[in-house]
Amino acid sequence: MESWRKAWKGTTPVEPLKDPEWVAWRREFLAERSDPSAVSDEVAAQEHRAIQAQWLIDHVDVLEEGGAISEEKAAQIRRFRPLR
């Protein structure tokens, strides 16, 4: 969890949602998220966690290479990637 906090706060090689290529690539995923102003705090929090989780899954290689997460943690995260 701490490595995720470091990644989300921008102390790693990639900052979430400041990566225009990722936002463009995941535009459809992001569009499916609920509008935080139109839902309960609980639902908005769940949507935020979904975005965080997808960002972490998509950036696991960069985070591992930058030393933000361990090889073991990266392997655990990679299990959530879709089969190709």
Each residue of 63-75: pLDDT tens digit? Answer: 999 898 999 999 9
Give the domain range for residue 58.
Answer: 2-78
Asked whether residue 72 is assigned to any structural domain, the reply reads yes
Asked whether residue 73 is assigned to any structural domain, the reply reads yes
Global confidence as pTM: 0.68
CA-to-CA distance for 43 and 28, rounded, in angstroms? Answer: 19
In the chain, the number of structural domains is 1
Asked whether residue 69 is assigned to any structural domain, the reply reads yes
Asked whether residue 12 is assigned to any structural domain, the reply reads yes
Asked whether residue 48 is assigned to any structural domain, the reply reads yes
Asked whether residue 84 is assigned to any structural domain, the reply reads no
Which residue carries 């935020």 as its tokens? 48
pLDDT digit string, tens, across residues 7-47: 445 555 556 567 788 888 888 888 888 776 788 888 877 88
